[in-house]
């Protein structure tokens, strides 16, 4: 690799993951969404699924970057989030019925959110982390579930809810990484990027103020 700063490619089209990176002063040079089959393998555990999908997304986007002539100077960042109750993996809700089923299952009980992160260096080396966060929801009334479904916030969200939105009012307790539940564990992500020589602190040193300050 040359002495120039490596470029960062975020393997996602998620506005939530981009906003989390921006929150810590990181602006990816490229956004290249990954399209992988997210169907769990037979008997696959939730934590394994999150790790496998994060890795698969990173590899797919690295291949796309190579075809575009970007890979030799780029660091790839990918992540995937899986919501589970026990061994049961909840879907990324695409219909109101799916979201309603998820919310009724989560109501009044604890669940876990597994977020896998994978970083591939310009040399092709992959480093990975898995973050396990535990959340307990209040017991939800039918009225609360119906109102949340009407909001549409659940659409496309793992487990049928978005912790950074209205559903934050449902969380009695969260033990682990809040940003991981949103979609990208920032502590682990910074560690992985630093380990691959990406200058995480560059924008901090050159900024007059952090966003929102």
Give the DSSP per-residue string, the chain.
Answer: --SSPPEEEE----HHHHHHHHHTT---SEE-------PPPTT--HHHHHHHHHHHHHHHHHHHHHHTT-GGGEEEEEEEEEEEETTEEPPB--SHHHHHHHHHHHTTSEEEEEEEEEEE-TTS-EEEEEEEEEEEEPPPPHHHHHHHHHHTTTTT-BTT--TTTGGGGGEEEEES-HHHHHT--HHHHHHHHHHTT--TTHHHHH-SS-TT-
Say how many C-beta atoms besides its own lie within 10 A of residue 185's C-beta: 26
Query: Given a cut of 80, is residue 5 above it in pLDDT?
Result: no
> Has residue 89 been placed in a domain?
yes
Domain presence at residue 56: yes
Q: What is the pLDDT at residue 3?
A: 57
**pLDDT at residue 213, as a whole number:** 45
Could you tell me if residue 35 is inside a domain?
yes
Average pLDDT, stretch 11-25? 93
Total tally of structural domains belonging to the chain: 1
Residue span of the structural domain in which 69 resides: 7-206
pLDDT digits (tens, 9 = 90+) for 92-124: 999 999 999 999 999 999 999 999 999 999 889
In a domain? residue 212: no
Residue 111 resides in a domain: yes
Q: pLDDT tier at 196 (50, 70, 90 boundaries)?
A: confident
- Residue 206 has what pLDDT? 63
Q: Is the pLDDT of residue 148 over 60?
A: yes
2 or 5, greater pLDDT: 5
Find the CATH number of the domain harbouring 103: 3.90.950.10
Residue 128 has pLDDT above 70, yes or no: yes
- Is 185 within a domain? yes
Is residue 2 included in any domain, yes or no? no
148 φ/ψ angles, rounded to the nearest 5 degrees = -65, -40
Angle, helices 96-106/142-151, rounded to nearest 10 degrees? 140
Lowest mean pLDDT among 2-16, 17-31, 80-94, 198-212: 198-212
Q: Is 80 a catalytic residue?
A: yes
Residue 129 in this model has a pLDDT that exceeds 60: yes
Is 213 a member of any domain?
Answer: no
The model's pTM is: 0.91
- pLDDT of residue 207 exceeding 80, the answer is no
Q: With 50 as the cut, is the pLDDT of residue 30 above it?
A: yes
Choose, from 37, 80, 97, 132, the residue flagged as catalytic. 80
């Amino acid at each position: 690799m040359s002495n120039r700063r490596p470029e960062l490619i975020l393997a996602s089209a998620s506005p939530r993951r981009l906003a989390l990176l921006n929150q810590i002063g990181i602006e990816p040079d490229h956004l290249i969404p990954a399209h992988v089959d997210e169907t769990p393998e037979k008997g696959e555990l939730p934590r394994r699924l999150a790790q496998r999908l994060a890795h698969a997304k990173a590899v797919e986007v690295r291949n796309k970057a190579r075809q575009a002539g970007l890979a030799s100077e780029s660091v790839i960042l990918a992540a995937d989030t899986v919501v589970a109750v026990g061994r049961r993996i909840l879907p990324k809700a695409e219909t109101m019925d799916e979201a309603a089923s998820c919310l009724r299952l989560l109501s009044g009980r604890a669940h876990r959110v597994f977020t896998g992160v994978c970083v591939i260096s310009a040399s092709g080396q992959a480093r990975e982390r898995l973050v396990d966060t535990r959340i307990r929801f209040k017991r939800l009334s039918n009225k609360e579930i119906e109102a949340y479904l009407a909001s549409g916030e659940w659409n496309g969200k793992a487990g049928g809810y978005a912790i950074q939105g209205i559903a934050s009012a449902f969380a009695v307790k969260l033990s682990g990484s809040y940003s991981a539940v949103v979609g990208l564990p920032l502590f682990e992500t910074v560690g992985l990027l630093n380990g691959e020589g990406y200058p995480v602190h560059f924008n901090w040193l050159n900024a007059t103020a952090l966003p929102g300050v």
